[in-house]
Amino acid sequence: MVSDPAIGIHDLSFSTTEFVLPHATLADHNGTEIGKYHVGLGQQSMSVPAADEDIVTMGATAAEPIITRHGSDRVRTVVFATESSIDQAKSAGVYVHSLLGLPSATRVVELKQACYGATAALQFAVGLVRRDPVQQVLVIASDISKYDLDSPGEATQGAAAVAMLVGSNPALVRIEEPSGLFTADVMDFWRPNYRDAALVDGQESVDAYLRAVLGTWKDYAEQDGRPLDEFTAFCYHQPYAKMAYKAHRHLLHHCERHSGEAAVARAVGRTTAYNTAIGNSYTASVYLALAALLDEADDLTGRPIGFMSYGSGSVAEFFGGTLAPGYREHLRTTAHRGAVDRRRPVDYATYRELHERSFPADGGDHPTPSQTTGSFRLAGLRGHQRVYERRAADSARSSAEAGFRRLRPDGHRPATAHS
């Protein structure tokens, strides 16, 4: 099932936002019983982007350690997967290419199909590497999940970027053939071009996801994939952590296997650590599940892992991967946990102001307050053009702290969005 040479994920790194909103803060605001968030959805907190943060800054932050470790000599393609696109024409990947100083001899493109985009990018990358095993492809999945304030979807927001280096003889995960595929035209979740926040039919989206799980599995079995029992763990797309449990229970039930709590937890329990703290990161989510599994589990060398990628609308894919010998030496566990732990909690009013923030569309000069502490920031919008900055790490924290204070001048109520 593994091709020769093996092709797959050689390195994986993720980033998330500067700020975090604990679900307890949201529950205090809207009067929801906290058990619904913590137990019913399986979510503890959600990542909240700062004013000077977006899919490009997160994507560059995720990819930078990969380029630092491996260089860019073999990277001839960058595929940026997102459904939070910032431009109808220019790929967000071109900004990342520039921020990271990648060679001009690179093809860069953006891909979209809701939360499924990164899996399409990964599979296309595998195809490119098969054509020329010397080349590597940098896949970046970066998204900001946004629903209307006070809507049922609000508690399932989040944001993160995962960068993966795809190449031959991968150090982490060997991607297998076949894949199980499934497409169905359904209006479960969508975002028209004129809207910032997604529209969703919540119950229909859950049902459509579950139909897709069985659809991909059926095709996977028909393509002579592995029997279910061979898989050690399953990385599902996680719009909220409990969805992985729901999905796997559904699959076990369909396959007439024991679907009790312990069996489901064994298969998906180690994949939720990052998603439960970050929230829905759309197309990055299934690869955050992989990151959690790699960082949380004991040695899984040689063990098959199942991946179920679902994107509303809808497209889904089930495929397998095995963990390469020695993979644990290449993990970024400390950096990953640090990215989650370093986020600064915001109060409800600040979250609300950040949520409602948008640039005026008048072509003027609109600098963003300096709130982030990372290497990359969105400095503003000038003449309809997004302006990004790369800055020294030392100066970042002090300017961000000043910007954060400006955002909350009296310590409670935020200033207007464009102060």
For the annotated catalytic residues, the residue numbers are 83, 115, 237
**Rounded to an integer, what is the distance from CA 182 to the centroid of its chain?**
21
The nearer residue to ligand HMG, 240 or 376, going by C-beta atoms, is: 240
For ligand HMG, the binding residues in 292-311 under the rule CB under 6 A are: 310-311
304: Cα within 13 Å, side-chain hemisphere: 15
- SS3 state at 344: strand
Residue nearest to ligand HMG (CB): 40
Rounded to 10 degrees, what is the CA torsion of 290, 273, 54, 96? -30
Of the candidate residues 13, 72, 91, 205, the single one contacting ligand HMG (CB under 6 A): 205
Cβ 308 to ligand HMG shortest distance, Å: 11
Q: In whole angstroms, give the CA distance from residue 55 to residue 195.
A: 17
Least Cβ distance, residue 190 to ligand HMG (angstroms): 9
Count CB atoms within 10 A of the CB of residue 83.
25
> Which of residues 67 and 200 has its CB atom nearest to ligand HMG in the complex?
200
Binding status of residue 148 toward ligand HMG by CB under 6 A: no
Only one of the segments 19-27, 148-156, 222-230, 253-261 lies at the binding site for ligand HMG (rule: CB under 6 A); that segment is 148-156
What backbone torsions phi and psi does residue 351 show, to the nearest 5 degrees? -55, -45
**Distance in Å, CB of 245 to ligand HMG, minimum:** 8
Residue 345 CB, nearest distance to ligand HMG (Å)? 22
Question: How far apart are CB 96 and ligand HMG at their closest, in Å?
Answer: 21
Among 181, 206, 300, 379, contact with ligand HMG (rule: CB under 6 A): 206
Q: Smaller CB distance to ligand HMG: residue 171 or 308?
A: 308
If one asks whether residue 110 binds ligand HMG (CB under 6 A), the answer comes out as no
Residue 355 as a binder of ligand HMG (CB under 6 A): the answer is no
Looking only at the bridges linking them, the beta strands covering 233-236 and 19-22 are unpaired
Angle at 173 between CA 171 and CA 175, to 5 degrees: 130
The nearest distance, CB 400 to ligand HMG, in angstroms, is: 29
Our finding on whether 184 is near ligand HMG (CB under 6 A) is: no
| Dist CA 344 CA 99 (whole Å) | 25
Q: Is residue 130 within the footprint of ligand HMG (CB under 6 A)?
A: no
Tell which residue, 376, 362, 14, has the closest CA to residue 165: 14
Task: Give the closest residue to 85 by CA, choosing from 116, 54, 106, 62.
Answer: 54
> What are the C-alpha distances in Å from 250 to residues 207, 213, 346?
11, 8, 37
Asked if residue 207 binds ligand HMG (CB under 6 A), the reply is: no
Give 49 or 170: the residue with its C-beta nearer to ligand HMG.
49
Q: Which is nearer to ligand HMG, 19 or 310 (CB)?
A: 310
User: Per CB under 6 A, does 209 bind ligand HMG?
Assistant: yes
**Binding flag, residue 268, ligand HMG (CB under 6 A):** no
Residue 317 interacting with ligand HMG (CB under 6 A) = no
Beta strand 19-22 with 344-345: parallel, antiparallel or unpaired?
Answer: parallel
Helix axes of 92-99 and 55-70: crossing angle, nearest 10 degrees: 50
Of 20 and 243, nearer to ligand HMG (C-beta) is: 243
* By the rule CB under 6 A, 7 interacts with ligand HMG: no
From 9, 81, 137, 155, residue interacting with ligand HMG (rule: CB under 6 A): 155
Of 168 and 280, the one with the shorter C-beta distance to ligand HMG is: 280
Q: Does 107 bind ligand HMG (CB under 6 A)?
A: no
Phi, psi of 33 (to 5 degrees): -65, 125
Amino acid at 330: H
With respect to ligand HMG, which residue has the nearer C-beta, 9 or 286?
A: 286
C-alpha to C-alpha distances, 367 to 39, 53, 106, nearest whole angstrom: 40, 12, 30
Measured CA distances, 189 to 51, 114, 274, 314 (Å): 26, 9, 23, 9
Question: By the 8 A CB rule, do 15 and 53 touch?
Answer: no
Q: Which stretch binds ligand HMG (CB under 6 A): 1-9, 37-45, 100-108, 258-266?
A: 37-45
> Applying CB under 6 A, which residues contact ligand HMG?
33, 35-36, 39-41, 83, 114-115, 152-153, 155-156, 188-189, 200, 202, 205-206, 209, 237, 239-240, 243, 280, 282, 310-312
